Amino acid sequence: MRLLDLPQAKYFCARVALPSHGVEQSLPAFHTALGKVSRLQEGTAHFDIHRVNLLMSAERWLLFSIAHYRRAVEMLAPVSAPWAQVTLYYASFFSANAVMAMFGAWVGHTISGPRIVDVETGSPGQQELRIFRGTSARSPSGARGPHRIFWDFFYDAVPAVAAWAPTHLSGALTPVNGDYAWQISSRNDINYDMFHAWDASATFCRTFKSAKLKTLSGPLRQQFEATEQLIRVTRYFADEVALSAFALANCGFTGDRAHVQRRLVKQQVPSILNQSAFSEFLA
């Protein structure tokens, strides 16, 4: 999978204008409607619609990533710690999607199967993206399942942009434990096998000290550290390409991306526990 280099990505991201009515839409739905189109050329409506929606998604993926990280930290209690790991996985997944988008690539799924978009030509003024579908959308390792396909493409592609990242963050662009599917497998152990979920809670109970975040252990700690680094490198690239904030405006705040993210992510959770059935469940 080919990506833009950093100067090309700056051009790709900087030329996005506020979308006109009807331009903002679902990327999978848009690609379903494209039919057999295999190239998206700069200066065409198809290219512009794809780019606007891809970069709007990038803004939102980064916001959701940071918000999920916050929620995971708030879940660091014995019976919710396993699900904190699942939440961290999704924070990592959202950040990785944002990185791909800023560098011109998309791994998506339509009603007719996978869609892979990468870079044919990166030269400013002549940028062109190519679309793969069906058997041509096969991932480098032949992975199956949407998430495995995504991570296989991600780790295959990002070495090309790792040199543009600060040295201390470049490790975020390599597979956790040397396995492109580690995050998925570790998430699935907890999500679908109560034996592993309960064991994670018991381990958390024995080892975690609430005053010291670094006492996290095992897969939870690995996922926590991997997610932190991936968010850091995503934020770095977002700053470098001047990713905008217009996709976040309809949540009630305006300003630059950092300001809107800060306002949205730091909002206090409503105190509505007593309005729920929680006390009934403990009776």
241-257 residue pLDDT tens: 999 877 887 777 777 78
Q: Rounded to the nearest 5°, which phi and psi values hold at 2?
A: -100, 140
Are 101 and 82 in contact by the 8 Å Cβ rule? The answer is: no
Angstrom CA distances, 134 to 33, 108, 111, 140, stand at: 15, 12, 12, 14
Give me the residues paired with residue 128 across strands. 41, 121
The pLDDT of residue 218 is above 80? yes
The full set of domain ranges for the chain reads 6-266
pTM for the model stands at: 0.93
Q: At what angle do helices 194-207 and 81-102 cross, to 10 degrees?
A: 100
Provide the token pair at 220. 């939870």
Q: How far apart are CA 237 and CA 227, in angstroms?
A: 15
Q: Given this model, what pLDDT does residue 22 score?
A: 66
Max mean pLDDT range (22-31, 72-81, 85-94, 208-217): 85-94
